[in-house]
Amino acid sequence: MPRPNTFKELQQFTWAANWMRTSVPGYAHIIAPLQELTDKANQELKRIQSSSPSSSRLDDLGWTDRHSKAFEDIRFALIQHVQLACPKSDHQTCLFTDASDLAWAAVVTQIPMEDIDLPVHEQRHEPLAFYGKRFSGAELRWSTPEKEAAAIINATERGDFLLQTSREFLMFCDHRNLTFIFAKDAEMKKHTAQKIER
């Protein structure tokens, strides 16, 4: 698969890659440079009211080595995509979330019931779905706890069909404060609850 040379080719590639996003761990983070270039190019082409934006050359729109690396990384990730398991009612569902300054990511897995008491790294996790999205606009100015919470909220919304089973799912995140917010018996101040509802 050759590197895209025009704006239209880049759009086609990112749209096609997006179709496989739930099978690619870290998809949002990997493809972010290409999406940023697409967004920037869209704005620039609208500003100059280009009559043929689709034929605009990427080199003229700011394509750099960073974009070439992102293209190669996402291409490799698509080739190596993870085979997803089918949900099993006799397995425990797990949700892992994380956020960085630029994006959030999540994976929904399942483990055999006999693995529940094992340390996480020894459990036999079968991936069910991968989710992620880059932050944009005001989201980029959110605090770390807000970004970590956004990962949890967005992942539970997108993966609700996998998480809403007869058994509660296990959730793992690397931000300890969120365990207090999302705990069953957690009481929180009104302003905190409103921030989470965003």
Q: At 195, is the pLDDT very low, low, confident or very high (cuts 50, 70, 90)?
A: low
pLDDT of 150? 92
Please name every residue paired with 6 in a beta bridge, in sequence order, or none if there are none.
57
pLDDT of 86? 94
Residue type, position 144, single letter: T
List strands edge to edge, sheet with 91-99: 126-134, 103-112, 91-99, 170-172
Report the chain's mean pLDDT, rounded to a whole number. Answer: 86
Query: What domains can you pick out in the chain, each with its CATH number?
Result: 7-79 (no CATH), 91-197 (3.10.20.370)
Q: At 184, is the pLDDT very low, low, confident or very high (cuts 50, 70, 90)?
A: low
Query: What is the residue whose two structure tokens read 């993966």?
Result: 159
Segment 60-75, tens digit of pLDDT? 888 999 999 999 999 9
Integer Cα distance of 21 and 25 in angstroms: 8
When pLDDT is averaged across residues 119-132 and rounded to a whole number, the result is 94
* Beta strands, E only, the chain: 91-99, 103-112, 126-134, 170-172
Q: At 89, is the pLDDT very low, low, confident or very high (cuts 50, 70, 90)?
A: very high
